């Protein structure tokens, strides 16, 4: 697929997906939604990719849907899916850790897009906003599921019902972002985290942990986790990755994990 609204680059096992409409402050379009979905699928299917970084060209991450009217959707299509969900659904199902690097305005879909990421690193000039009621709109991209689980119901109610802009220090205090850095350090910090994950963690472990954390949010008690944990631990001690993890620890050296997500995920994990 040829990308126009985004760019896709793979280097050092890091797939970087970059919103690339800086002239429109990365206003979100149907084309961008479809290209993001394709890029996430590409990264997920490639064992060479260990970490996905979502970034944006220009001074803003994304100022929300492009309201210029030049990209009108066909609401009558029987299989129509709203544009934010086209990206956040596959993003939530990735078997790779996801790091979002956010600068400037991240408003509307600019905020909802990054909710399924595992790490949200923000520049000190970032600001967020779930501005939907101020536009007569409704939340999108599964954000009414993700946001309360990240920041708590009370904070989600405050942010979504007022639609007000959220300064970066408030976002950090609430847990929406994991760290705040100077704008010029944003990508360096994101790639530093990505390199740390690649060097020190096993791809299969990361996939199982990432997907299990989301899956277990729907369980009414820890019993499902107890049962899955017993199966996973029994499975682990027959794998090369677990043996390597233990041996590298005992020998005080860096691990060399060889497991592949495409081949070595346990068959019994509940989302398969």
The helix (H) or strand (E) run that includes residue 51 is: strand 51-56
> 119 and 92, same structural domain?
yes
pLDDT in tens, 47-66: 999 999 999 999 999 999 99
Would 272 be classed as within a structural domain?
no
- Say yes or no: 19 and 127 in one domain: yes
Quick check: 32 and 21 in contact, CB under 8 A? Answer: yes
Cα→Cα distances 250→191, 228, 243, 253, Å: 28, 27, 11, 8
Q: Is the per-residue pLDDT at 218 higher than 70?
A: yes
Query: Of 169, 197, 225, which residue constitutes the final position of a domain?
Result: 197
User: Is 81 inside any structural domain?
Assistant: yes
Query: Does residue 271 lie within any of the structural domains?
Result: no
Is the domain of 17 the same as that of 123? Answer: yes
Convert the pLDDT of each residue in 133-190 to its tens digit: 999 999 999 999 999 999 999 999 999 999 999 999 999 999 999 999 999 999 999 9
**What range defines the domain where residue 223 resides?**
202-264
Q: What is the pLDDT of residue 78?
A: 81
Residue with tokens 């986790």: 225
Residues 121 and 242 in one domain: no
Q: Which CATH number does the domain housing residue 39 bear?
A: 3.90.226.10
Distance CA 266, CA 272 (A): 9
Last residue of a domain, one of 197, 214, 229: 197
């Amino acid at each position: 697929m040829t990308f126009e609204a985004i760019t896709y680059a793979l280097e050092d096992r890091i797939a970087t997906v970059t919103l690339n409409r800086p002239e429109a402050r990365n206003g979100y379009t149907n084309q961008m939604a479809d290209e993001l979905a394709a890029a996430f699928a590409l990264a997920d299917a490639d064992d060479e990719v260990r970490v996905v970084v979502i970034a944006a060209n220009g001074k803003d991450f994304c100022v929300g849907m492009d309201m210029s009217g030049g990209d009108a959707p066909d609401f009558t299509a029987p299989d129509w899916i709203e544009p934010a969900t086209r990206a956040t659904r596959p993003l939530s199902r990735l078997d790779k850790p996801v790091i979002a690097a956010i600068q400037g305005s991240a408003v509307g879909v600019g905020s909802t897009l990054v909710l399924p990421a595992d790490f949200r690193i923000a520049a000190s000039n970032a600001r967020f906003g779930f501005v939907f009621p101020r536009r007569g709109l409704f939340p999108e991209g599964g954000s009414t599921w993700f946001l309360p689980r990240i920041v708590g119901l009370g904070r989600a109610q405050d942010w979504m019902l007022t639609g007000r802009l959220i300064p970066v220090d408030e976002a950090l205090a609430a847990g929406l972002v994991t760290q705040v850095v100077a704008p010029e350090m944003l990508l360096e910090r994101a790639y530093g985290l990505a390199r740390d994950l690649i060097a020190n963690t096993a791809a299969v472990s990361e996939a199982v942990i990432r997907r299990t954390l989301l899956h277990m949010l729907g369980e009414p008690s820890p019993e499902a986790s107890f049962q899955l944990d017993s199966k996973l631990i029994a499975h682990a001690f027959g794998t090369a990755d677990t043996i390597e993890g233990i041996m590298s620890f005992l020998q005080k050296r860096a691990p060399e994990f060889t497991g592949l997500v495409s081949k070595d995920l346990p068959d019994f994990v509940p989302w398969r």
